[in-house]
Amino acid sequence: MAFYMTLTEKAALMTVETIEALRSKPVESTLVERWRLIDEAMELYAGLPQPLRLGYGLTYILSKASLPVKGYDILLGRFDDHVPTPEEEAFVRRFHEQNRQQLCVEGGHITLDWAKIFAVGLDGYLTQANNCRARCLAEYAGSATLQFYQGYILIIEAIITYIKRYAAAARDAGLIDTADAALSIAGPAPATFYGAMMLVMLLNTIYYVYAGAMNPTLTLGRLDDLLLDLYEADIAAGRLDREGAAAIIDDFNGKCNLILGRGEHQMSGGGANDTGWWRNNSYDDSSYVVLGGYSARHPDRLNPLTELFAERINPRYESPVYVFRRTPGSMSTDKSVSGRNERAWQLICERARDNAAILIYNDDTVIPALEHAGIERADALEYTMHACNWPDIPAKYCVIGTAGGSVAGFVANALYDLSDRANPKPRGYGSLDEIYNAAGELLRKNVRSVFNSCRKFLSSPPTPPDHISITELFTEGVLEHGQVMARAVKYPLVYTLVRHIGTAADIMAAIERIVYTDNLCTLDELLAAALADWADSPELFAAALKTPKYGADNDDADRAATRLMKLFCDIAEEEARGMEPHIVQLPVTITDMGHIAEGAELPATPDGRRNGAPLSENLSPTAGFSKSVTALLCSVAKLPFNRICSGALNLRLSRGSVAGDAGAERLRVLCDTFFELGGMQLQFSVTDTAELRDAQLRPENYRDLMVRITGYSAMFVDMTIAAQNEIIRRDELS
């Protein structure tokens, strides 16, 4: 039967399987084979140095891994994932109790060197590693360096052998075209679009299932830009048509979901519908694919592959998360030099309206921000994003430190002495400027410590490499220099966190209004009232709630947000560049779901926030104060995004506001206007509060209801009640 099915028919069956897995996969489904193979490899190779332990370990694992095939597979990349028997369950629990998984080191949250992977293939990496090892032997290099290269040779050979084994399994199953596509990239560089997509899928599978530690989410590159030449060559030669390419993408999109367990990790871990990390190391880790944006490979031209990928995004899938890099529409009447594929942009807005897992970034803010931070333009043009909204300079960077933190936290620590959490005390200030300066100096102390530690590392003499990983193998400079990634890359980076700007702005705006404009009380009185959680000051509490709030297009609150953001960016930049060697630091505003835990650690604040209440999340305002989506976006767009390199803005829109073709057009205009005002990022959940409440009561009616968490999506009905309530707490905008 499989032999006579068209690619489109096969892709349709893959879609049915994927949706059923997302809806109904048993929560207890476990990667039993993964854990058993790791256990056996550790028994064999635990005593070896890490490069050889990983090299021989992956060789063993990939030579023993099962190779499932279904008759409608277009791409390969399946694996064992089943509900364990009682004996298997006992083994997996014992395995984790004994902490036997040290073999697997891939933490993900990065983009590999996909451009080079597609250009030279696995054979190119193998040749390079062999040449480097031969050079080391000729130069009598130390054993550590030789083990470093030998480990990489083993890894590459293991990957090639696994692909050849899988090709043979596909051929035995009668999938001749599938087998040929796999065999064509078992060493050589991809020569077709089909082959390139096969290589991406198989590397993704190896990375997540067999080599990944916990939470190994991976970005698979700018596939529309990187694979355009192969796609167009296939079309021109008659090897492929648009319908066949669409089916390949459909199969790819579907298989990216098969690895997922049930549940959501940031708020829902441990719930009844929760697979968890110990059953599935990838759990709810989506893959990421980047589309659109300015291109040095294909400047000033339409990219039909961008449109095709956008068209095939399935709103019912959790993975891949598609990151769309938005560029302005062209003013030219010559469509051959259009700056943007308008049809692709329209499709992205429609899919976002339908709750697809989509993040939208503005190239005209992100690229200048990266350049301002010290990234060369040619590299900034290639930027990608990984989970959950963190910027990559693909294959040319390594994060060596994280500085900064919660802006609201720095402001609160400036206002209060929190050294004794049980008995916080207000601090005294004579002016608003003094408070800003005090919060800034707390940040300065933080970043100076981190940057000095990074400088010490960068200035220290290199040591022989003592560990390897697949991530480092596919990173520029590692093989060339014979050094671990942190010492080999062009850009050792520090992420500077600038979090919870909404609450921080509200605090400063409240102090300005209550103390310095309306003279309702002194600063000491306001802080004392807040520290008492407003118990004895109902009038001040009411006044605090009425003060200007960020997100309502109020100039007073937005001015405070802008001032804080500029202040913190200025200080981080001064400290990064004030001493040699300079530190390349990228300011990011991502909170993930940390606004809940970080808010729980802080007392009540002058904006009317109660003791322990959540802070504002990501770039959003404090929940409950947004007047409309346009007012919110006008506020956010005032921030200095020419200095900020990534961050999330969650918008929960009512279904009626974006329903139908007219609604999709409203959403497109909304996005265009926000980005033309200078906004950086948007991501949407289109759900009504009443609908979410009903889904809590009747989950069986809402199996496909997807909601945005932070940089990824989740099935609402699989989340815990507390997590669902956090989503409901977000303002429903129209």
Q: How much of the chain, in percent, has pLDDT values that exceed 70?
A: 98
Rounded to an integer, what distance in angstroms lies between the CA atom of residue 503 and that of residue 54?
46
Whole-model pTM over 0.85: yes
Q: Is 665 exposed, middle or buried (0-12, 13-18, 19+ CB in 10 A)?
A: middle
Band (267; pLDDT cuts 50, 70, 90): confident
pLDDT digits (tens, 9 = 90+) for 475-515: 999 999 999 999 999 999 999 999 999 999 999 999 999 99
Residue 451: CA count within 13 A, CB half-sphere: 24
Q: Over the chain, what is the mean pLDDT? A: 95
- Tell how strand 384-386 and strand 390-392 pair up: antiparallel
pLDDT one-digit tens code per residue, 107-146: 999 999 999 999 999 999 999 999 999 999 999 888 999 9
pLDDT of the residue at 336: 38
| Mean pLDDT across 585-601 | 94
Give the mean model confidence (pLDDT) for residues 286-315: 95
Strand partners, 398: 492
The yes-or-no verdict on residue 175 having pLDDT over 90 is yes
pLDDT tens by residue, 86-111: 999 999 999 999 887 789 999 999 99
Could you tell me the pLDDT band of residue 395, with boundaries at 50, 70 and 90?
A: very high
CA pair distance 32, 91, nearest whole angstrom: 9
| Gap between the Cα atoms of 538 and 606, Å rounded | 13
Interval 204-212 mean pLDDT: 98
Q: Give the residue among 398, 406, 497, 410 at the shortest CA–CA distance from 454.
A: 398
> Does the pLDDT of residue 334 top 70, yes or no?
no
Question: What does DSSP say about strands 681-686 and 358-362: parallel, antiparallel, or unpaired?
Answer: antiparallel
Q: Is the pLDDT of residue 528 over 60?
A: yes
> Region 182-205: what's the mean pLDDT?
98
Helix (H, G, I), strand (E, B) or coil at 653: strand
Q: Is the pLDDT of residue 1 over 50?
A: no
d(CA 387, CA 290): 12
Instruction: Provide mean pLDDT across the span 47-57.
Output: 97
In contact, 616 and 726? CB cutoff 8 Å: no
Terminal Cα distance for the chain, rounded: 50
CA 420 to chain centre: 36
The pLDDT assigned to 114 comes to 98
The DSSP annotation for 675-712 comes to HHTT--EEEEEE--HHHHHHHHH-GGG-TT-EEE-SSS
Q: What is the mean pLDDT of the segment spanning 624-648?
A: 95
pLDDT at residue 339 in the model: 59
For 6-10, 73-77, 680-684, 719-723, which range has the lowest pLDDT when averaged over its residues?
Answer: 719-723
Taking the C-alpha atoms of residue 405 and residue 504, their distance in angstroms, rounded to an integer, is 12
When computed from its CA atoms, the radius of gyration of the chain, rounded to whole angstroms, is 26
Q: Which residue type is seen at 122? A: L
